[in-house]
A and B are shown apart, each in its own frame.
Chain A
């Protein structure tokens, strides 16, 4: 029983971070329909920014976190402006190739600047875990879960309940009509990509102190983010959130009770199963305009 509870708690904590990665990508991949291969690199970028600000310059951790998020958004805006904007109207293959190239270049850049040896971001939280009966969890992990839930709720409201959210969705569903209604299309493209990138950078900066920071840390993460988005249904924020938690549960219990060596495979087996039964993802309508 104790083991089940601990596995469940681990999965919930991990699920929060997966959901955070998922919603960042669902904005870009789901709503904008850009197959974003730089998502993992923006995650890595966020982690290195946290290392630079909190670890090297000695700034307050929470301050560094906020700055990493803003820098991630700025980098995202730059990518949209310099790479995606000139490609507007190009087919999906061209865009995908450019994004793969951008991802490789960013990873190589990180390698060049920071070197291949792992860096560690100082954590402001005590190493003593929070003990709940027979199970325990690190303070820093609870903080990550809290921030993740806050961002998930915030973005859900932003996309579904605000005028800005309506403008964003309208732009990607029918750009011409949106423009006729007075929406600044260029701004919406840049903003959406910047927000999604900012979320990836935030996830990286949040997880930096829990794990270690390396130039290749984004590889597996990007793969998982795609899986979560596909699992939850494209462009669906609650879907990406639930997708994140489902993936975490599958990995945690798969590793705990079946075979720990194939932990990362568990999640993908689940995705294959879901796609066979519901090709549109768990929470998406069958027909999507876009």
Chain B
């Protein structure tokens, strides 16, 4: 009995020791992403982008003389798990800063925990306007809001031939989908475009023929789709089966057109996709050298090209955090939050800097991000 106890003690000491030693040498950054479940493809791409950033930062000597260490948790495409993963990162791993949580619904679920523990989070993907307007001073978003995306899209409206006359919407039934559909509806109405029907779908729904049949009846010429790449694949395939006459435009930037071409085949042809990084045209990026460093790092790791459009989010997110840690001079939550306001960074998407958004005294940080629109033609991505 005694020997067993001793062995157990020794074993646990041996298990704990490297963890303790490690903590002194590295600066930990917590990441919560949907690595499994309904939107897993995107979450894995973002996590891979973060890993590229980790490697680039550490290859250049790290930050404050220490290497950075990512702790990536799976939020299982589920808001409850998102909260649990964030709490685990903050309480058990004691990370001073987080990046996450992909979907607006997951991010909104995590946000009260940031206030509770006083830890800042850089939001790399979520687009619901609510995130930065709800008065949470621990949130800093580098992704564009749905309203910004709609505004950028409005400038490109004249490029569509034939012009968009009547638009229908198919959106995932959560904060991201409903928020985006509303912003685009407002923008299109202001531009004199007629609005047809708005259909919604559950995030894990796979058969969308009922929604698409109703949309077909509405007589619109363009369908705006807001959801992740998995459902976009299904929508494109099922729209082809139902001979939907609409031009399909997806927004939200999570469409990974190369994955669509691989999985939906010919059904992807003719579709338009809004993106925040267009890796086929790195020369069109605001900072081509930054984009090149990211793409080279991505390729070196052997990651799938299709993931670059999402992966950049993870890269820019971690780079933003590292810049803030550098400016703060120490890896402590409050200091990092204060430093995030002063970050000026050349990102893959463009210039990263935070402006105040939300109620006075409790503002969140919001970055002005760039939006690109690409089209798939004959199985190839083009920029119209």
A149 at the B interface (CB under 8 A):
no
**Cβ of A10: which chain B residues have Cβ within 8 Å of it?**
207, 209-210, 213
- Contact assessment for B209 and A120 in the assembled complex, using a CB-CB cutoff below 8 Å: no
A261 at the B interface (CB under 8 A):
yes
Q: Which residue on B lies nearest to A220, using beta carbons?
A: B204
- Contact assessment for B201 and A263 in the assembled complex, using a CB-CB cutoff below 8 Å: yes
Binary per-residue interface labels of chain B (67-87) against chain A in the complex, 1 for a CB within 8 Å, 0 otherwise: 000000010010000000000
- Contact assessment for B234 and A211 in the assembled complex, using a CB-CB cutoff below 8 Å: yes
- Contact assessment for A263 and B41 in the assembled complex, using a CB-CB cutoff below 8 Å: no
Contact of B241 among A118, A138, A219 (CB under 8 A): A138
Within 8 A of B (CB), among A110-134: 111, 115-118, 120, 127, 129, 131
- Contact assessment for A261 and B36 in the assembled complex, using a CB-CB cutoff below 8 Å: no
Q: Choose among A118, A127, A136, A210 the residue with the greatest number of B CB atoms under 10 Å from its CB.
A: A118
Using known A-B contacts A6-B216, A120-B233, A216-B38, determine if residue A137 contacts B241 with beta carbons closer than 8 Å: yes
Using known A-B contacts A127-B265, A129-B241, A131-B243, determine if residue A116 contacts B210 with beta carbons closer than 8 Å: no
A169 at the B interface (CB under 8 A):
no
- Contact assessment for A117 and B41 in the assembled complex, using a CB-CB cutoff below 8 Å: yes
- Contact assessment for B217 and A2 in the assembled complex, using a CB-CB cutoff below 8 Å: yes
A117 to chain B, nearest CB (A): 5
Binary per-residue interface labels of chain A (179-215) against chain B in the complex, 1 for a CB within 8 Å, 0 otherwise: 0000000000000000000000000000000111011
**Cβ of B233: which chain A residues have Cβ within 8 Å of it?**
118, 120, 212
Using known A-B contacts A117-B44, A127-B267, determine if residue A214 contacts B230 with beta carbons closer than 8 Å: yes
Distance between Cα atoms of A206 and B265 in the complex (Å): 19
**Cβ of B243: which chain A residues have Cβ within 8 Å of it?**
129, 131, 136
- Contact assessment for B241 and A136 in the assembled complex, using a CB-CB cutoff below 8 Å: yes
- Contact assessment for B37 and A216 in the assembled complex, using a CB-CB cutoff below 8 Å: yes
**Cβ of A253: which chain B residues have Cβ within 8 Å of it?**
210
Within 8 A of A (CB), among B186-241: 199-202, 204-207, 209-211, 213-214, 216-217, 230, 233-234, 237-238, 240-241
Q: Choose among B201, B207, B262 the residue with the greatest number of A CB atoms under 10 Å from its CB.
A: B207
Distance between Cα atoms of A261 and B200 in the complex (Å): 5
Q: Choose among B217, B241, B266 the residue with the greatest number of A CB atoms under 10 Å from its CB.
A: B241
B263 at the A interface (CB under 8 A):
yes
Q: Which residue on A lies nearest to B74, using beta carbons?
A: A116
- Contact assessment for B36 and A263 in the assembled complex, using a CB-CB cutoff below 8 Å: no
A260 at the B interface (CB under 8 A):
yes
- Contact assessment for A215 and B205 in the assembled complex, using a CB-CB cutoff below 8 Å: no
**Cβ of A3: which chain B residues have Cβ within 8 Å of it?**
213-214, 216-217
A138 to chain B, nearest CB (A): 4
- Contact assessment for A256 and B210 in the assembled complex, using a CB-CB cutoff below 8 Å: yes
- Contact assessment for A263 and B205 in the assembled complex, using a CB-CB cutoff below 8 Å: yes
Using known A-B contacts A120-B262, A129-B243, A255-B211, determine if residue A260 contacts B44 with beta carbons closer than 8 Å: no
* Chain A interfacial residues counted at CB < 8 A: 40
Distance between Cα atoms of A7 and B233 in the complex (Å): 21
A189 to chain B, nearest CB (A): 33
Distance between Cα atoms of A251 and B208 in the complex (Å): 11
Using known A-B contacts A117-B44, A214-B40, A261-B202, determine if residue A129 contacts B242 with beta carbons closer than 8 Å: yes
A14 at the B interface (CB under 8 A):
yes
Using known A-B contacts A127-B266, A131-B243, determine if residue A264 contacts B37 with beta carbons closer than 8 Å: no
Distance between Cα atoms of A266 and B48 in the complex (Å): 39
B295 at the A interface (CB under 8 A):
no
A17 to chain B, nearest CB (A): 9
Distance between Cα atoms of A255 and B77 in the complex (Å): 24
- Contact assessment for A6 and B41 in the assembled complex, using a CB-CB cutoff below 8 Å: no
A217 at the B interface (CB under 8 A):
yes
**Cβ of B209: which chain A residues have Cβ within 8 Å of it?**
10, 13-14, 252
A39 at the B interface (CB under 8 A):
no
B173 at the A interface (CB under 8 A):
yes
Within 8 A of A (CB), among B22-66: 35-38, 40-41, 43-44
- Contact assessment for A7 and B213 in the assembled complex, using a CB-CB cutoff below 8 Å: yes
**Cβ of B38: which chain A residues have Cβ within 8 Å of it?**
214, 216
A145 to chain B, nearest CB (A): 13
- Contact assessment for A255 and B36 in the assembled complex, using a CB-CB cutoff below 8 Å: no
**Cβ of B242: which chain A residues have Cβ within 8 Å of it?**
6, 129, 136
Distance between Cα atoms of A78 and B50 in the complex (Å): 42
**Cβ of A256: which chain B residues have Cβ within 8 Å of it?**
210-211, 213-214
**Cβ of B201: which chain A residues have Cβ within 8 Å of it?**
260-261, 263
Q: Which residue on B lies nearest to A207, using beta carbons?
A: B206
Q: List 17 A-B contacts (CB under 8 A).
A: A3-B214, A14-B209, A115-B44, A116-B40, A116-B41, A118-B233, A120-B263, A129-B240, A129-B241, A137-B241, A216-B204, A219-B204, A252-B209, A255-B210, A259-B200, A261-B201, A263-B211
Beyond the given A138-B240, A216-B77, A217-B206, please list 4 additional residue pairs across the A-B interface where CB-CB is below 8 A: A116-B43, A117-B40, A252-B209, A263-B205
